[in-house]
Amino acid sequence: MDLASATWTDVRDLESELAVVPVGSTEQHGPHAPLGTDVLTAEAVADAGLERVDRTVIRTPAIPVGIAEEHRQFPGTMWVSPDTFRSYVRESVQSLAHHGIERVVLVNGHGGNVDALREVGARLTRDGDAYAVPFTWFEAVGGHSADMGHGGPLETALLRRVAPELVREGRIETARDGAADGWGDWTSHANLAYDSAEFSENGVVGDPAEGEKERGEELLELAADSLARLLDAVAEREVSRPDGR
């Protein structure tokens, strides 16, 4: 159920304790893909996942601004500090838990949010506020995951499936030409770079030309299936904390 469209009486009558919170970012995705990519993809995966479960799940509005200072050299990128992001997500989930919606999957579309969401999930769970687990769609698409870049094959493919009108097809070549091969600048397994502008000319990582719509279809299927499995697992997990040894 889409929370924003529902009334409070609808929520009351639903008596569901399971929700998904899409979490995105408004940040550069190259010259060909929109700043809203991570919100769009998180929402699309969340919605597709919900269709695949045989449970009543509440779907909240997406959180639109995340941890994206690494892209600050690219105009239009928005961000908040990790502290503020963590508080915003944690308190949003706590407000759901106040109504008994105590199991939450944070459906994430942005790599920069991953660490913070795990920290928030741990805090909520250990404090007994809610059982919250982050799910980042591009980590859960089988072999495709290895191709994840930024505005690269995976995101471009998924956009072509869920919001094709927002992909600037005429700039794909430009996007590819200014792209980096991989994320970061590594020595001894340490990333020496903190800003994407240190290693990518136009903010892209990976080749967006390898992101056909058919691949996007497959990605959506895979991600939605993964999310559905996770929702079942989260709904059924025993979440009481272990005793001290």
Site residues for a copy of itself, 70-89, by CB under 8 A, read 70, 72-84, 87-88
Is residue 209 involved in binding a copy of itself (CB under 8 A)?
A: no
Is residue 211 involved in binding a copy of itself (CB under 8 A)?
A: no
Is residue 97 involved in binding a copy of itself (CB under 8 A)?
A: no
Q: Per residue, what are the HEC states of the chain?
A: CEHHHCCHHHHHHHCCCEEEEEECCCCCECCCECCCHHHHHHHHHHHHHHHCCCCCCEECCCECCCCCHHHCCCCCCCCCCHHHHHHHHHHHHHHHHHCCCCEEEEEECCHHHHHHHHHHHHHHHHCCCCEEEEEEHHHCCHHHHHHCCECCHHHHHHHHHHCHHHCCHHHHHHHHHCCECCCCCEECCEECCCCHHHCCCCCCECCHHHCCHHHHHHHHHHHHHHHHHHHHHHHHCCCCCCCCC
Q: Among candidates 62, 71, 59, which has minimal Cα distance to 40?
A: 62
Which residue from 55, 56, 95, 169 is in contact with a copy of itself, where contact means CB under 8 A?
Answer: 95
> Which range in 22-30, 152-160, 211-219 contacts a copy of itself by CB under 8 A?
22-30
Is residue 121 involved in binding a copy of itself (CB under 8 A)?
A: yes
**Closer residue to a copy of itself (CB): 157 or 228:** 228
d(CA 136, CA 114): 7
> Which range in 129-137, 154-162, 205-213 contacts a copy of itself by CB under 8 A?
129-137
What residue type is 161 in one-letter code?
R
Which residue from 31, 109, 111, 211 is in contact with a copy of itself, where contact means CB under 8 A?
Answer: 31
Which residue from 41, 113, 156, 202 is in contact with a copy of itself, where contact means CB under 8 A?
Answer: 202
> Which range in 115-123, 153-161, 209-217 contacts a copy of itself by CB under 8 A?
115-123
CB of 215 to a copy of itself, least distance (A): 19
Interaction with a copy of itself in 130-189: which residues (CB under 8 A)? 133-136, 139-140, 145, 166, 168, 171, 187-189
CB of 70 to a copy of itself, least distance (A): 7
Which residue from 198, 210, 212, 217 is in contact with a copy of itself, where contact means CB under 8 A?
Answer: 198
What residue type is 168 in one-letter code?
R
> Which range in 60-68, 152-160, 210-218 contacts a copy of itself by CB under 8 A?
60-68
